[in-house]
């Protein structure tokens, strides 16, 4: 398996991905050859933290009230 990174760009009414020439040579890719690739989404801190507190049961006003009162042990 050969791994590389590329940027998807508008190509007519489609999206095209260019393959670096070093990868083309190493994989012996020829025109009209069917290839398979895996798309891995870029991981960002926002994606990792989104939904992190989904199971949080207490409403926000109650949490703020507890913080002001100093009830941190509950």
What is the predicted pLDDT for the residue at 73? 61
Q: How many CA atoms lie within 13 A of 3 on its CB side?
A: 2
In the predicted structure, residue 74 carries a pLDDT above the cut 70: no
pLDDT of 20-69, one tens digit each?
Answer: 999 999 999 999 999 998 888 777 777 677 777 777 788 888 888 888 88
Region 2-29 average pLDDT: 93
Region 6-33 average pLDDT: 93
What tokens appear for 16 in the block?
């095209």
What is the predicted pLDDT for the residue at 72? 63
What is the predicted pLDDT for the residue at 19? 93
Write b or e for each residue in 13-30: b if 16 or more Cβ atoms lie within 10 A of its Cβ, otherwise e.
Answer: eeeeeeeeeeeeeeeeee
∠4-6-7 over CA atoms, to 5°?
Answer: 165
């Amino acid at each position: 398996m050969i791994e590389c990174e590329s940027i998807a760009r508008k190509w007519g009414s489609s999206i095209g991905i260019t393959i670096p020439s070093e990868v083309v040579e190493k994989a012996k890719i020829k025109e009209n050859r069917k290839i398979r690739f895996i798309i891995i989404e870029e991981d960002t801190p926002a994606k990792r933290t989104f939904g992190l507190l989904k199971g949080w049961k207490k409403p926000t006003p109650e949490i703020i009230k507890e913080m002001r009162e100093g009830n941190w042990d509950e």
